[in-house]
């Protein structure tokens, strides 16, 4: 699935999604992991922002959705106006599935510029 997001630099964003398998809700099994990465382009070796099930991706049992939280501190220094991201599921048996990918468009903020002194 390809999905684009738009955010204002320095703002927070929560990306919510469900996992399904054969049309039924899928809850991560022991040693399954979700990964979220933002890069300037897909060929970069280093991610600008990384999240995983151990840091920044959580399951909300009330909504039945997984949530990736980008905090204002994650986005406050993003200067590029178009970035790429993906969300991957790495299952305990080594199977890797790219769940979603796309662009993250950054609008530069006015009130809180990058030098917040």
The answer to whether position 113 is within a domain reads no
pLDDT over threshold 90, residue 42: yes
CATH number at residue 79: 2.60.40.10
The total of structural domains in the chain comes to 1
For CA atoms 70, 5, 76, 112, the dihedral sign is negative
Confidence tier at 109 by pLDDT (50, 70, 90)? confident
The answer to whether position 115 is within a domain reads no
CB half-sphere exposure, 111, CA atoms < 13 A = 3
The answer to whether position 114 is within a domain reads no
For CA atoms 17, 22, 23, 26, the dihedral sign is negative
- Summarize pLDDT for 58-105 with one digit per residue, the tens: 999 999 999 999 999 999 988 878 999 999 999 999 999 999 999 999
The answer to whether position 117 is within a domain reads no
The answer to whether position 25 is within a domain reads yes
The whole-model pTM stands at 0.89
Boundaries of domain holding 9: 5-107
Confidence tier at 10 by pLDDT (50, 70, 90)? very high
The answer to whether position 29 is within a domain reads yes
């Amino acid at each position: 699935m390809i999905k684009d997001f738009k955010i204002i630099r320095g703002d927070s964003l929560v990306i919510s999604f469900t996992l399904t398998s054969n049309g039924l809700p899928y809850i991560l099994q022991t040693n399954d992991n979700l990964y979220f990465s933002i890069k300037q382009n897909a060929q970069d070796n280093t991610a600008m922002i990384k999240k995983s099930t151990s840091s920044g991706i959580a399951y909300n049992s009330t909504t039945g959705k997984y949530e990736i939280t980008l905090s204002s501190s994650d986005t406050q220094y993003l200067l590029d106006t178009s970035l790429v991201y993906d969300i991957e599921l790495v299952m305990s048996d080594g199977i890797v599935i790219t769940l979603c990918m796309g662009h993250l468009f950054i609008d530069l903020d006015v009130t809180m510029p990058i030098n917040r002194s």
